[in-house]
Amino acid sequence: MLDGMNDVDTNLPVTSGAANVAPVLRFAPSPNGYLHLGHAYSALFNDRLARELGGRLILRIEDIDPQRSRREFEAAILEDLEWLGVTWEEPVRRQSEHFADYELALERLNEMGLLYPCFCTRTDIANAVSSLHDWPLDPDGSPLYPGTCKRLSAEDRARRTGSGLHAGLRLDMSAALALAQDRIGWSEYGEASEPRDVTAEPALWGDVLLARKDVPTSYHLAVVVDDALQGVTDVARGMDLFSATSLHRLLQNLLDLPAPNYRHHRLIEDDEGAKLSKSQRSPALRELRAQGVSAAQVRRRLGFQI
């Protein structure tokens, strides 16, 4: 049986991750813009699921990136969710309050010999792979890291650090795979009530960056640490993050963290926005509101009954 699989409770339309624990779900927007219909679908999906499962919904603001996160967007997110009729458990969680937890996780991976510092810029990586024929891309479309800094000698590393160069931290994927359990997978519900087993393919991500030069963590590390800290049993998010789950499951495995159920839901087409908006193809919820569209109309259009 896969890690994280649990008995099915036949009284419920859908089943929750951890046996005997009230399900915990989360909606986790990044405050770098206004919420659109795609966010609305995800928030409503989580909200409905939390009610169906008799669970709690956490709102987590994913604000680790100081360049892109803005308090005004966070305020707008809360306002738009309230308008939409989504209810969450207070207090609102913020990733920026958990940097110490991310650091501990990095220390742990480092002690396991799984991290190395990387001084490369994006341009360095692009240059390094430009002459390599058919160099593979990761699921986000970035070239896999070619391992330049993995091959640096200890002296070289010390010299670069000594001269004030900033480094990110990369996961040594082959070492990580060697340490992890043979087969890592997860229970994938999609939008269905019964799960299927998915085998994780973390190698697709190569030596992924787990801490950036400018931010002492990364999306992948932060989300895994937070889901565990907050006791999330069911991660419901868009299909665009399906591939990221392979990496998240590897990190959970290495850090001994529980495996939530995953529910990757459909993505919303522009068309849905066009049908609601008088003027634009992919409007923000607040623009729809300004045009006189009601929250009930948005919910109906996205397939949620009032």
- Contact between 30 and ligand GLU by CB under 6 A: the answer reads yes
* Nearer to ligand GLU (CB atom), residue 58 or residue 184: 58
* Nearer to ligand GLU (CB atom), residue 26 or residue 299: 26
- Contact letters for ligand GLU, residues 233-252 (x by CB under 6 A): ----x---x-----------
Least distance to ligand GLU, CB of residue 28, Å: 4
* Nearer to ligand GLU (CB atom), residue 172 or residue 227: 227
Q: How far apart are CA 25 and CA 232, in angstroms?
A: 6
* Nearer to ligand GLU (CB atom), residue 49 or residue 149: 49
What CA dihedral angle connects 68, 72, 74 and 79, to 10 degrees?
A: -150
Contacts 24+ apart (CB under 8 A), 107-112: 108/255, 109/171, 109/210, 109/254, 109/255, 110/169, 112/179, 112/254
- Contact between 84 and ligand GLU by CB under 6 A: the answer reads no
* Nearer to ligand GLU (CB atom), residue 208 or residue 223: 223
Q: Enter the DSSP assignment of 190.
A: T
Phi, psi of 174, deg, nearest 5: -70, -35
Question: How many CA atoms lie within 13 Å of 67's alpha carbon, on the beta-carbon side?
Answer: 4
Structure token pair of residue 176: 């990580």
* Nearer to ligand GLU (CB atom), residue 237 or residue 299: 237
Q: Which of 14, 18, 24, 28 binds ligand GLU (CB under 6 A)?
A: 28
Give CA 102 to chain center in angstroms: 14
Least distance to ligand GLU, CB of residue 99, Å: 16
Q: How far apart are CA 58 and CA 20, in angstroms?
A: 19
Least distance to ligand GLU, CB of residue 130, Å: 30
Partners of 137 in the β-ladder: 143
- Contact between 223 and ligand GLU by CB under 6 A: the answer reads yes
Applying CB under 6 A, the residues found at the interface with ligand GLU are: 28-30, 62, 223, 237, 241
